[in-house]
Structure 1
Amino acid sequence: MPTLEKIAVIGLGSMGLGIARSLVRAGHVTAGCDVNETALKTLEAEGGQPFAKPATAVEGAGIVLVVVVNAEQTETVLFGRDGAIAAMKPGSVVVSSATISPTEAKAFAARAAERGILYLDAPISGGSAKANSGQLTVMASGTPESFAAARPALDAIAQTVYELGDAPGIGSSFKIVNQHLAGVHIAAACEAITFAKSLDLDISRVFEVITKSAGNSWMFENRIPHVLAGDYKPHSAVSIFTKDLGIVSDIGRKQKFPLPIASAALQLFVMTEAAGMGKDDDASVARLLAGIAGLDLPGSEDGR
């Protein structure tokens, strides 16, 4: 039976819109907020309530999921002008899902607590498809009260919820480790398929063989079809990994921990973004390498 609890989602990108759909499907009254009018219209057509400002979206909501890009946007939608925190009732919970540094997660949690608002540090993984199907993985940390308050939303959007500790920042630390690996694997997959092209191999056949062999990875299997199709519409943009591997690099530098492989991958994403592909799919790293090597990948004839 529908629970009819109001839940607000701030940020209706590929992940946030999928999360909102999962909440609607679970029977929650679902408010959504985004600057993108198309996303708001899509949510409304699918049973959600569209709002242009976080403060109005969260009125009456006991749970507020923040699914924006970075710490700067998280701070703006929570604490800025027309931000959510000032409009939330004490005892309600923010579920913060952007990939941010552990230090930033701790700071946001402390500021929320000053207003009597619970905070769950809850980065997500799984991509847009799993967001749409309610099968995300959530890497969460926070007080038992925060977990309890957020549970109706977590049950609707996630297949797996890892409860990683009582303190905000732990969840973000786990996500940063995940993003280290994800970024390295994407860069390696793009390098490998472009290397195969330089060997004059049928890269469709390479994909078939590698996905059944020990060199396969989830990212190779997920991203290389974008290269084979010459389709770089963003499922996850290059700029996301410029940001996330940048966070990895910043943490490593502060801790005096060497990260040579992550650093190399970061530079590939930076170069790809500098080449004008920052808003395109992160598989565009293959296009960058192909361009450097003078190779033609599928779709290259139209300049993409």
Structure 2
Amino acid sequence: MSTQRPRPARVGVIGLGAMGLGIAETLHQSGFDVTGCDINASARTAFVALGGASVESPAELHDCEIVLTVVINGHQVEQVLFGEQGLASTLARGSLILQCATIAPSQAKALHARLTSHGLGMLDAPISGGAARAKSGELSVMASGAPETFAQAQSVLDAMAAHVYRLGDAPGVGSSMKLVNQLLAGVHIASAAEAVALGIRMGLAPEVVFEVITHSAGNSWMFENRVPHILSGDYTPLSAVDIFVKDLDLVHQTGRELSMATPVAASALQQFMAASGAGFGREDDAAVIKVYQKLSGITLPSAANDDTVQVSPRK
């Protein structure tokens, strides 16, 4: 008769941004004892308002059995684990890190080796799905790690994800798959922006472009999800331009490590870099279309040219 591993007594979530806050809320609502960690006081306050506990320093999560890192980049992962107030030296041996940030596969392998030396487990577990699916517990997790780490994390994964892809025993495989996803996501967003910009430049109404393309072969998930941001003129960051500057640069760096050219991803990277350089880095990634606004003078949907809602996107 099989036995189910008991759920962890305490779970930590480092990084209470759009994705991390949604995950922390989902786990809290699923009955886990969750402590969120973020240097941003307003982020901590937001989680406390939902009924959770919060701390400022990763080291304060020392009594957690499982800790998820949901931060922006590899440097932040390094700092929260091994920095001055890092977690690795304070966790009890046998505790588990779910590394959910998008990082280079080579870094995932190095982190696993360092955490192992501290007596800690690691599941290489990047996530996808956006803030809404994080909040609803319907993320996709692209994970790799030893079977015992999957068993240890099972109850947490069940609560936060609709799909958990077990990609192998080796660290780095999950991060490799996430880079494939991010290459496609970045290219699709940049392509969607270019297509809508071209339509506007040719005199087509952007809402009509959206309606036709979402019922045609040129549609993509990103087109259907991001173009409504353009139609409403709302660039409130759900996933920022600078995220794709970082992620597509990781694709480029990994391709260079493998001596493999990634020209389509490189072209998309240049568009996101142009948007960031023009001052749109912290806006929603759909703001990559503003590069075309600057270069070709197209008029984007807005009410009084101030990025407020003008049209209602398809539901």
**Once the 2 structures are TM-superposed, how far is the Cα of residue 290 of structure 1 from its aligned partner?**
1.7
For the 8 Å contact 1:211–1:221, the answer to whether it is kept is yes
Task: Name the residue aligned to 1:42.
Answer: 46
Matched, 1:218 2:221: yes
Deviations 1:61-93 (A, max 9, x none): 110000000100000001101111111111110
Given residue 13 of structure 2, which amino acid in structure 1 is its aligned partner?
A: V
Task: Name the residue aligned to 1:273.
Answer: 276
Given residue 20 of structure 1, which amino acid in structure 2 is its aligned partner?
A: A
Task: Name the residue aligned to 1:194.
Answer: 197
Matched, 1:229 2:232: yes
Deviations 1:234-259 (A, max 9, x none): 00000000011001111112222121
Q: 2-side partners of 1:107 and 1:116: how far apart?
A: 15
Q: Which moved more, 1:90-99 or 1:247-256?
A: 247-256
Partner secondary structure for residue 150 of structure 1: helix
Matched, 1:9 2:17: no
Q: Which runs of 5+ in 1 are unaligned?
A: none
**Once the 2 structures are TM-superposed, how far is the Cα of residue 42 of structure 1 from its aligned partner?**
1.1
Partner secondary structure for residue 213 of structure 1: coil
The match for 2:84 among 81, 84, 87 is 81
Task: Name the residue aligned to 1:179.
Answer: 182
Q: 2-side partners of 1:85 and 1:3: how far apart?
A: 21
Q: 1-side partners of 2:194 and 2:290: how far apart?
A: 10
TM-score (norm 1): 0.97
- Aligned-residue RMSD, C-alpha: 1.3
Task: Name the residue aligned to 2:130.
Answer: 127
**Once the 2 structures are TM-superposed, how far is the Cα of residue 59 of structure 1 from its aligned partner?**
2.5
Partner secondary structure for residue 158 of structure 2: helix
Given residue 28 of structure 1, which amino acid in structure 2 is its aligned partner?
A: F
Matched, 1:166 2:182: no
**Structure 1 pair 3–250 and aligned structure 2 pair: CA distance change class (3 A):** closer
Partner secondary structure for residue 40 of structure 1: helix
**Once the 2 structures are TM-superposed, how far is the Cα of residue 19 of structure 1 from its aligned partner?**
0.2
Deviations 1:161-185 (A, max 9, x none): 0110101000000000000000000
Q: Which moved more, 1:95-104 or 1:36-45?
A: 36-45
Task: Name the residue aligned to 2:70.
Answer: 67
Task: Name the residue aligned to 1:31.
Answer: 35
For the 8 Å contact 2:8–2:66, the answer to whether it is kept is no
TM-score (norm 2): 0.94
Matched, 1:208 2:211: yes
Task: Name the residue aligned to 2:57.
Answer: 53
Deviations 1:104-159 (A, max 9, x none): 00011111000100001000000000000000000000111111111121111001
Given residue 58 of structure 2, which amino acid in structure 1 is its aligned partner?
A: P
Q: Which runs of 5+ in 2 are unaligned?
A: 1-5, 308-315
**Once the 2 structures are TM-superposed, how far is the Cα of residue 301 of structure 1 from its aligned partner?**
4.5
Partner secondary structure for residue 139 of structure 1: strand
For the 8 Å contact 1:3–1:27, the answer to whether it is kept is no
Partner secondary structure for residue 85 of structure 1: coil
Partner secondary structure for residue 89 of structure 2: helix
Q: 2-side partners of 1:290 and 1:300: how far apart?
A: 16
Q: 1-side partners of 2:76 and 2:305: how far apart?
A: 35
For the 8 Å contact 1:9–1:33, the answer to whether it is kept is yes
Q: 2-side partners of 1:174 and 1:137: how far apart?
A: 12
4+ aligned runs moved over 4 Å, structure 1 = none
Q: Identify the structure with the greater helix proportion.
A: 1
Matched, 1:293 2:274: no
For the 8 Å contact 1:4–1:27, the answer to whether it is kept is no
Deviations 1:238-284 (A, max 9, x none): 00000110011111122221211111000000000000011100001
Partner secondary structure for residue 87 of structure 1: coil
Given residue 197 of structure 2, which amino acid in structure 1 is its aligned partner?
A: T
Given residue 24 of structure 1, which amino acid in structure 2 is its aligned partner?
A: H
Q: 1-side partners of 2:51 and 2:105: how far apart?
A: 35
Matched, 1:137 2:136: no
Deviations 1:16-75 (A, max 9, x none): 00000110011000000001111111111111101010111x232110000000100000
